[in-house]
Each structure stands twice: as C-alpha cells, then as structure tokens.
C-alpha cells in the first residue's frame, strides 16, 4: 500500500500559500505563520476543513491542539497518534511540521480508498506553538497535553507586544473546550524533514530517529550605562554590547574545547538599546540556545555559563539578568518502534540510518507518556530549514510517509505493543 505522492505534495503547496511572503535575501517565496497569528488561524482552518472532508471526528482542546479521529473496530482502545504542527518561524519553508500533519491525513485518505479498517482508532493531530518563536516556549501545546507544562502557565505567556496567549487563542477561534491533558496513546508517530545535512550528504533516503537532544533557552537582559561614543572614556564605560559579545564568544570557546561533548550553542537574537551608531549601548536583550545529546553535559555547560556571567558583570561593570524560557531533557525514542521503522524502510527498498534530532519536536513530549518514534526525510540544499530554501522532493516526502504508513498499520492492528 502506498500513498498518493502527488496529492500529498499538492496539499503541502496549498497550505504553503497561507502566510506566504517574498524573501528579500533569497528571492524565494517564504512562509510566516507565527503561532496564533491570523495566518496561523487561516492555516488551521484549512487543515480542519480537510479533516472534516475525511469524516474524521474533530476535537479542539483548551490549549488549541486539534485531534482528528478515525474510528477503529474497537474504538474504546487507545489510538495510534500521528502528529506535528502547522505554525512556523517567521522565515519558514513549506515542509517543517506540515509534512507530519498532512502526511497523516494522506495516510487516512489512502486507508479510506483501500477500505482498510484497523483494530485501534487512528488520530491525526497538530499542536499549538511548536516553534516557540512567538511566546518563547517551544513544543508548548504538546507539553501541556502531556503534562510537562500547566495550562495556567501557558495561558499567561505573552509575546513581544504584550499580547496574552489565551486571548490570542480566543481571537483566532481555537480556544477549545476539551480537556487539554491527553490520555496516553498506544503509540505516537511523527514524520518530519531532517532540518540538517546528514541524510542529504550521505544519500540516505530515510532517517530512523533515535531521540532528541536536550534543549536550553535563556533570555538575557544585560544592563550597562549609555554614553556618548566620543565623549565617554573607554575605562569609564559599562558597555552592554561588549558584555553580550563576550558571552557570544564564550559560547564558541565552550564548543571548541570539547569538554561539553557534542554541544551546539547559539546567540540567535542580540538587540542593543538604543541601537545608534554614536551611543554606547546601555542595555542589550539577547538569547542563548544550548543543545546537547547528554543531559549531564548540558547541566555542566549551563553551570559554567552562569559562572561566566558573573565574571562578565565584574569585568565590564554591567548587570546580567537571565531567565529560563525553555528547558527540555534529552529524550530516547522507543527502540522497538525504531526497529519497526528500519524494517519498514527495508521492505520499501529504502536506505536508512539512525540519526539523533538536533531540533525539538512534539514527539519528545509524547515519549514521556507512550512509545514514540520519528521518521526523518532528507532535504535538498544540505537540508536547510527555517528558511525559504527549505525543500524536499515529492519522492523524499512520500518515502517518509510510506514508511510511517507501514508502521502505523502494524501498530493499529495489535492488542499490545
């Protein structure tokens, strides 16, 4: 059994028109559907319409997660869930997250066409603010659904304009009434583009995802003292910009030393205030993103970074305020599901390899409550993602979803895992 590759790709193209913009750097069409924006609302409604066309039973929970249920012969049994997200970063392509959701719906279409009944029900889901770009906490909807974050905490999150998450959910019409805590599924599956170069460079067709790295996000406010660039002597400055640069360079030094394993570190946002050519920055707002496959080494790197903040404060006569905006541990996916994915790839004549996820995914939240696993599809141009150049071919997308279909059929027809 195989999905309709052209139909899946057409759905990806259609959803990709919502929130489209012309990217000045690349000259390509990009996608911007920030969580709970008007564009996100439009994208959600399009996907919702496809769910209803398939006669799926749809429910929306109190954090805005959407579940569409295809009944099984024993509908009281725990479902197999296929999920991901349809929100995006501000400079996105068409595939990140969307492939997992629309691939799940294409699987349902295929099962309907083939008149396949399953023992267990199947649910296709998409989750609120997986990206975390607007409200500062990634995997938000799935984290609430699986119990890592509370609904009350999520409701009070605010974006840069001070807009409250609960109000924005209501504004776009996705403040649902169903309980936000999800019952443990029989299993959770997710198909996603790799968002990196490994599969592409090795010519491998399918990634069997072993787990997800630990992720730590911090928001920094570095407070110094503004001054005239020409009239303030260097030895009397409290330059918040210099302090931020020292921290950024420290991140690179920590990586180069190798003492923190395979850590990756990024200062992705750095905004000096007032941001003028002839004024010493009196304040800098910045972010720190740490990733590490080792929980132990992540903790050591965080402790070392906090100690360095104190050194910078003393050396540059500034104050550094920091807060944790996201923190998730490294997660290992079900070994039995990984074996099933590898076997399905082999049955389909597809090359495969084990790979760890460098980005966060909703699957890592579900791994806390049920067996979970992911399939990665390679992307062209070294797998670039969060960029309008993000691109996977129809075959690459179909290969991943067909592997998912194979595994789903096994899981949906079993009494026990």
Res 121: pLDDT: 98
3-class DSSP state of 391? coil
Q: How far is CA 90 from CA 37, 195, 413, in A?
A: 11, 16, 40
Res 311: pLDDT: 98
3-class DSSP state of 293? coil
How many other CB atoms are found less than 10 A from the CB of residue 60? Answer: 19
Structure tokens at 131: 């990206």
Res 17: pLDDT: 98
DSSP state of 349: T
Res 310: pLDDT: 98
Res 385: pLDDT: 95
Structure tokens at 217: 């996000």
Q: How far is CA 64 from CA 157, 181, 409, in A?
A: 14, 12, 28
- Picking from 16, 19, 91, 9, the residue whose alpha carbon sits closest to that of residue 388 is 91
Res 136: pLDDT: 87
Pairing outcome for strands 331-332 and 279-280 = unpaired
Q: How far is CA 313 from CA 137, 304, 316, in A?
A: 27, 15, 6
3-class DSSP state of 25? coil
Res 147: pLDDT: 97
Q: What is the DSSP string of 189-251?
A: EEEEE--SSHHHHHT-SEEEEEEE-EEEEEEEEEE-B-EETTTS-GGG-B-HHHHHHHHHHHH
Res 80: pLDDT: 98
Res 416: pLDDT: 84
Res 402: pLDDT: 98
Q: At what angle do helices 98-113 and 394-412 cross, to 10 degrees?
A: 60
- Picking from 407, 46, 368, 374, the residue whose alpha carbon sits closest to that of residue 182 is 368
3-class DSSP state of 12? helix
Whether 5-212+330-412 shares its CATH topology with 214-328 is answered no
Res 277: pLDDT: 97
Instruction: Please give the chain's pLDDT, 417 residues, in tens.
Output: 999 999 999 999 999 999 999 998 889 999 999 999 999 999 999 999 999 999 999 999 999 999 999 999 999 999 999 999 999 999 999 999 999 999 999 999 999 999 999 999 999 999 999 999 999 889 999 999 999 999 999 999 999 999 999 999 999 999 999 999 999 999 999 999 999 999 999 999 999 999 999 999 999 999 999 999 999 999 999 999 999 999 999 999 999 988 999 999 999 999 999 999 999 999 999 999 999 999 999 999 999 999 999 999 999 999 999 999 989 899 999 999 999 999 999 999 999 999 999 899 999 999 999 999 999 999 999 999 999 999 999 999 999 999 999 999 999 999 887
Domain boundaries, the chain: 5-212+330-412, 214-328
Kindly report the CATH number that applies to the domain delimited by 5-212+330-412: 3.40.630.10
Are 108 and 121 in contact, with CB atoms under 8 Å apart?
Answer: no
Beta-bridge mates of residue 373: 189
Beta-bridge mates of residue 286: 220, 270
257 burial class (0-12, 13-18, 19+ CB within 10 angstroms)? Answer: exposed
Q: Which fold has domain 214-328?
A: Alpha-Beta Plaits (3.30.70)
How many other CB atoms are found less than 10 A from the CB of residue 323? Answer: 10
R_g (Cα) of the chain, nearest Å = 23
Res 207: pLDDT: 98
């Amino acid at each position: 059994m195989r999905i309709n590759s052209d139909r899946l790709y057409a759905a990806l193209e259609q959803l990709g028109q919502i929130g489209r913009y012309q990217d000045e750097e690349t000259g390509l069409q990009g996608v911007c559907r920030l969580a709970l924006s008007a564009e996100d609302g439009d994208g959600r409604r399009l996907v919702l319409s496809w769910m209803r066309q398939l006669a799926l039973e749809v429910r929306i929970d109190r954090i805005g997660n959407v579940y569409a249920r295809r009944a099984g012969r024993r509908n009281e049994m725990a479902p197999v869930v296929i999920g991901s997200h349809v929100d995006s970063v501000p400079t996105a392509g068409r595939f990140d997250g969307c492939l997992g959701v629309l691939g799940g719906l294409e699987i349902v279409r295929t099962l309907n066409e083939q008149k396949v009944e399953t023992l267990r029900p199947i649910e296709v889901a998409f989750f609120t603010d997986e990206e975390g770009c607007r409200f500062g906490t990634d995997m938000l909807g799935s984290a609430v659904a699986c119990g890592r974050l509370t609904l009350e905490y999520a409701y009070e999150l605010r974006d840069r304009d001070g807009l409250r998450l609960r109000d924005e959910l209501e504004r776009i019409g996705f403040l649902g009434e169903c309980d936000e805590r999800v019952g443990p599924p029989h299993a959770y599956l997710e198909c996603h583009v790799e968002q990196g170069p490994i599969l592409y460079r090795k010519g491998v067709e399918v990634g069997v995802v072993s787990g997800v790295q630990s992720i730590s996000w911090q928001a920094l406010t570095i407070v110094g003292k503004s001054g005239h660039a020409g009239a303030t002597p260097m030895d009397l400055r409290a330059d918040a910009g210099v302090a931020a640069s020292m921290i950024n360079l420290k991140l690179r030094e920590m990586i180069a030393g190798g003492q923190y394993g395979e850590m990756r570190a990024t200062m992705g946002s750095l905004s000096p205030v007032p941001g003028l050519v002839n004024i010493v920055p009196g304040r800098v707002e910045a972010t720190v993103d740490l990733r590490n496959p080792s929980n132990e080494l992540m903790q050591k790197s965080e402790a070392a970074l906090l100690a360095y903040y104190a050194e910078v404060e003393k050396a540059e006569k500034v104050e550094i305020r920091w807060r944790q905006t996201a923190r998730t541990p490294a997660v290992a996916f079900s070994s039995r599901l990984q074996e099933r994915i590898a076997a399905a790839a082999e049955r389909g004549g597809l090359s495969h390899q084990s790979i760890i996820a460098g980005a966060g995914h909703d699957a890592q939240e579900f791994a806390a409550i049920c067996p979970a696993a992911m399939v990665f599809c390679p992307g062209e141009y070294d797998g670039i993602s969060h960029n309008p150049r993000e691109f996977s071919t129809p075959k690459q997308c179909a290969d991943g979803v067909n592997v998912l279909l194979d595994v789903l059929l096994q899981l949906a027809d079993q009494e026990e895992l």
